Amino acid sequence: MAPTMRAMNDTATVIDQFQAAFLERAPEKLDEIIATDCVMEGVGPAPDGNVWRGYDECLAGWKEMASEPMMQFEHEGVDVWDDRAIIRWRLTGDQEFRGVTLMRVRDGRIVEALGYGKRP
């Protein structure tokens, strides 16, 4: 298998597992897919969003989101190529808005997640 195809398959697998953590309310699925140097920029608060740095912050933040009973994520679509993915989603519950997360994966782990939302 060519390196580009292998990277795309690894990225798709990681993104599938990331999505499953939220859709199935299974935050433990995040444990093995976050890089030690991961950086996540969230959609709020305005104007620039929050920033989580490193494995511990990203894992804790995403686990809290995946477990929050007042938040429900619906995935609208995913596009994957090489080491990158675009996840389109809708959040319902306490808050309601649509967004997109730009992801980058390296060696089977998420290294970057940039979230953007259409917030009310």
pLDDT digits (tens, 9 = 90+) for 59-84: 999 999 999 998 888 999 999 999 99
CATH code for the structural domain at 3-118: 3.10.450.50
Helices assigned H by DSSP within the chain: 3-23, 54-67
pLDDT of residue 9: 58
Q: Which residue has the higher pLDDT, 80 or 120?
A: 80
Domain positions in the chain are 3-118
Question: Crossing angle, helix 54-67 and helix 3-23, to 10 degrees?
Answer: 50
d(CA 10, CA 108): 6
pLDDT of residue 45: 82
pLDDT, mean of residues 26-32? 96
pLDDT, mean of residues 99-105? 97
For residue 118, give both structure tokens.
Answer: 């259409």
State the average pLDDT for the chain. 90
Q: What pairs with residue 99 in β-bridges?
A: 89, 117
